[in-house]
Structure 1
């Protein structure tokens, strides 16, 4: 499934001052960093859901690769489908839940409300007294404190995300205060809502054999949870089945009303994505397909079930920011450290030909790390953005201030030869020359090699033409396709030359930018600084984004960060589609409208028993 992740959350509380200048705590259950939520603190349910949606039926899904763990919050192990490395997945609830229909907004879940002082030096969350684990035990402030400490110590992602959170203290059984080591970060009090809450009493207990559990190790013992689903059964590495918790404590919480309606969620693993596609066409193993492959969307939907009306498809436009998808070059390898080399490789990527011949003209070129919204830089820097960049002028390319950043264009006749000449000249300036048709280091004679790492046939489609064009310049370029588990392991340990990376952005960038670009993250396994960027200007701009005092400053600073990243040529931008392509076996009911922000909320759909039975009888979804 395709889910858009918005890592930056929610808004800020207004702290009222009493005449005596003492602060009176003001609690909020809904907040937004961009204006006010359309629901406010009186939020009862999403306006698009069917509050009377029937429960029942089986939702079948497929995924590729394998799994060997039910503990997603450590580096070791591959978590099973339904778990999430960030967030709660199907099993756990978070303090608050990100909105499906508004940007940078969240609503209460385990925490019924939160508050913070006007200097953003701390945040206090008040827990919902109804919140329960699946064993009936209450979720307590002690669970929250324990979860924070465990996650920050063992999850690289949470450690970087909550870098400025110094302490979590249980004020009482239902209130937790988080203290920060800096003031002025207006996002930080609210992204604490992303914190997943884990059951301390279960993890510190013993298993059926009397062995103590260890939250720092992988496990295939189904953990105790608090969320809408629990593990029903599994076959290690090949299948996991989740069942809806009928007495789930949060089913009447506003973010859950009319949602999570399937009784059973079944995930079956396949070797590769081609096998998943064949399983979808056959029916019974994958009910809903989020189509990512242009070839299939353009000409693949001609199989019998689609022609007979058993499978339907629809395009759902979205208003959320598009992810940054691009080839990333691993600068931990010496050959990619020279900016001119990265720029030369950028000039060799022929997007226009690839889009026309392999993507059926269905994609749009990515030209920003914050594509598709007001945060994307354009033109030449001016106004507040220019003022910010002037502080770092002597550390930046001079052309950044005078030229609009543009990507090479292959649409005109003769463009390929011109772009290849430009690339060759950049390589020559960086010390690489042509000898006997091979691009080699002028001093050592070492050939310039690039191995592209992927895990599916789609990777071969995306990288294929690019590899051919690199070879034309004498580069020893190749594609290496590995299984998904090996790819994950190699990415976590930065063991690659070049690969395709997708980074989700939001309309309110914040702490997650450290994980994407900071010098600290570059040296930490499992970070998302895949390129290994270590640039003091980038570090400074990331901090300025995080500590922007208002929306205007955030936009200007993000423009500056975007521009510096682009002129650094750390990624070779690929493409995006401003819509979600969904196809499904006709067994579902759904609300009359879907949230335009994310395109489609599958959790608001439900199964129509008569349709499900008909498909099971006639062949198809079961």
Structure 2
């Protein structure tokens, strides 16, 4: 299939100029360099950075990212709250409930900037080298890089890391690394990854390799991914575990003489000597603890709390500040159908059930108009469907016309819209018609299968009691159709286990993509991961058209090409009704102690990163 794209640069970097964008180190291979290369691949690029689209914004001698505060002071302890519990420090296992600490404990070869579509800058790797063909990638390690025990980070550790994540005990990571053909340690500071020739256009793969958390080969006994326990990890990052109370608290301390403290990609980050996580059983207890001074920053996810829950002396005196920060992440909350469940195999049934969710009434009455209704799975971004398909999308979709809903080719998918007064009779009439067409009829006020008498009944699995009040009106609307939706709320550990085992009919789930969508789309929607234990394809989608479109995410060479692919994919997933998009938010709701500061660039960038916050000096 030829590329259906117009290769025109589609973006300007935030706060930058086109001249600055061109600053990168591009080296055309000399004869001697070519002789040392793994293959005669023409132009060889060696650089401090690598951009998926365009060129890196920051030059080789940059001092820090523009969106942080380079003068942020170091101070004592940042206290954070977490909900639920934990029973392991193994962040990579498919067993147990891991503590949410991996972002503090591990560094990677390269680090992503937050003011570019997708660009990595060297950290453990001081340089990256690759050919125009993309058939291999070589990393040159910084000889200063150290683990928390002081031992150097070497190419052998990178190889060990790859082997661990490519093992049977790490299925999610293994799937992302499938197309690495082989790995060769060339020296203590040099390692090369050969990519599968049949996937040489997989431009995302080197970026995934570069962002793996690096593990120590000299302490490999700690990293048995089949085990879930309290074995303490050996950190390659800025923090290590100081102490913990199982299921309740973890205290991290800054690694003494952390080698990258003043590295350009780390300047302005990690501004506290300690980070303390306290775990709370539910959102109500967590909010009470925050208001009482128990911890310092709270990301509020419940609209009712935001509108009415922040009261008391600390709020009235200004010691607690409620802040709205711009949110530009591609994230929505949605009801997800398990398409492997017998009742949800038929698209018409899924569409009928979606007619029962009244966003307008729910948002106004129960969520204080805090949210927007999603029109895409890629909310707050340009990657989702807009109006009818354009010529580029149609060229991608045309070969599959006979396998896709006919409406997809001429219309934009629309969510269910109501007047918001609670009267959804017209929507229920449409649902009734769809159910009748698919063989589900009403007998004695129950919706049953015309052929076998099976009742149309399913379970919605939740993990927090606070979600129940939002879904009960949905349940009542479905009752009018004769459909029984049972609402089941379980604790976090049970929820995780049931999701891993695909033991559910429907979930209320956050669907999140990176600032620039990538290979997570493969894991969310490809049939390879349908019905696989622990996979991210929670809808168990197995659709040959989706499978055929997904490779174009990997091969897109410009941002415009990627947008064309994701919009086409978005249309397929929405018109097939694999999910019911529930809500999206254009802002982060953050409550914090007034003594804390954060960079304005964080807000402009739309990425919420508490590692860039700091404690203000007392005279501020």
The equivalent of 2:206 in structure 1 is 189
CA 1:593–1:505 in structure 2 vs 1: closer, same or farther (change >3 Å)? closer
From 516, 526, 545, the counterpart of 1:518: 526
1:378-527 to 2 correspondence within 5 Å?
378-411=386-419, 416-527=424-535
Q: Aligned match of 1:72 in 78, 87, 91?
A: 91
8 Å CA contact retained: 1:595, 1:601: no
Q: Structure 1 length as normaliser, TM-score? A: 0.90
State the partner residue of 1:270: 280
Q: 1:128 to 1:332 in 2, by over 3 A?
A: same
State the distance in 2 between where 1:461 and 1:485 align.
22
Q: Which moved more, 1:344-353 or 1:372-381?
A: 372-381
Deviations for 1:406-426, whole angstroms, at most 9, x for unmatched residues? 122112779600000101111
Could you say what secondary structure the match of 1:427 adopts? helix
Q: Does 1:558 align with 2:577?
A: no
Match of 1:16 in 2: 28
Q: Where does structure 2 lack aligned partners over 5 or more consecutive residues?
A: 1-20, 35-39
What pairs with 1:240-251 in structure 2 (closer than 5 Å)? Answer: 240-251=250-261
Matched residue count: 589
Correspondence for 1:374: 382
SS at match of 1:115: strand
Deviations 1:286-306 (A, max 9, x none): 210111111111222222210
Match 1:82 to one of 87, 93, 101: 101
Are 2:77 and 2:276, in contact at CA under 8 Å, matched by a contact in 1? yes
| 1:608 to partner: Cα distance | 3.9
In structure 1, C-alpha distance between the alignment counterparts of 2:603 and 2:127, rounded to whole Å: 24
Contact 2:126 2:142 in 1 (8 A): yes
1:319-338 matches, within 5 Å, as 320-338=328-346
Give the drift of 1:593.
4.7
- Residue in structure 1 matched with residue 593 of structure 2 by the alignment: 585
2:59 is the counterpart of 1:59: no
* Cross-structure match for 1:167: 182
Q: CA deviation at 1:466?
A: 1.2
Write the distance in 2 (CA, Å) between the matches of 1:413 and 1:132: 61
SS in 2 for 1:526: coil
Query: Secondary structure in 1 aligned to 2:215?
Result: coil
- Cα distance 1:190–1:605, how it changes in 2: closer, same or farther (>3 A)? same
User: Which stretch shows the higher mean deviation, 309-318 or 35-44?
Assistant: 35-44
Secondary structure in 1 matching 2:184:
strand
Taking only aligned residues, the RMSD between alpha carbons, in angstroms, comes to 2.3
Alignment match, 1:26: 45
Contact 1:33 1:508 in 2 (8 A): no
Q: Which moved more, 1:333-342 or 1:495-504?
A: 495-504
Tell me: CA distance 1:577–1:502, structure 2 relative to 1, closer, same or farther (3 Å): same
| TM-score of the aligned structures, taking structure 2 as reference length | 0.90
- Residue in structure 2 matched with residue 293 of structure 1 by the alignment: 302
2:188 is the alignment partner of 1:179: no
Q: 1:383 and 1:17, CA in 2 relative to 1: closer, same or farther beyond 3 A?
A: farther
Name the SS for the 1:16 alignment partner: coil
State yes or no: 1:129 paired with 2:143: yes
Kept in 1, the 8 Å contact 2:50–2:128? The answer is no
Instruction: Give the aligned partner of residue 113 of structure 2.
Output: 99
Closer, same or farther: CA 234–255 of 1 in aligned 2, 3 Å: same
SS in structure 2 of the partner of residue 478 of structure 1? strand
Distance 2:422 2:170 in 1: 50
Post-superposition CA distance 1:372-392 (Å, at most 9, x none): 322211222231111111111
Query: 1:149 — aligned with what?
Result: 163
Is 1:568 aligned to residue 580 of structure 2?
no
Structure 1 CA distance for aligned equivalents of residues 247 and 279 of structure 2: 7
Q: Find 2:322's aligned residue among 313, 319, 329.
A: 313
Cα contact 1:15–1:118 (8 A) shared by 2: no
SS at match of 2:105: coil
Question: What's the CA shift string for 1:152-176, capped at 9, x where partnerless?
Answer: 2121221122221222221211111
Question: Counterpart of 2:371?
Answer: 363
* Stretch moving more, 558-567 or 298-307: 298-307
- Aligned pair partner of 2:540 in 532, 538, 559: 532
Q: Does the 8 Å contact 2:27/2:44 carry over to 1?
A: yes
1:223 aligns with 2:233: yes
Maintained 8 Å contact 2:53/2:558: no
Contact 1:13–1:115 (8 Å) recurs in 2:
no
Cα deviation, residue 571, structure 1: 0.5
Q: Which residue of 1 aligns with 2:37?
A: none
Q: Alignment partner for residue 233 of structure 1, among 243, 246, 250?
A: 243
> Could you say what secondary structure the match of 2:305 adopts?
helix
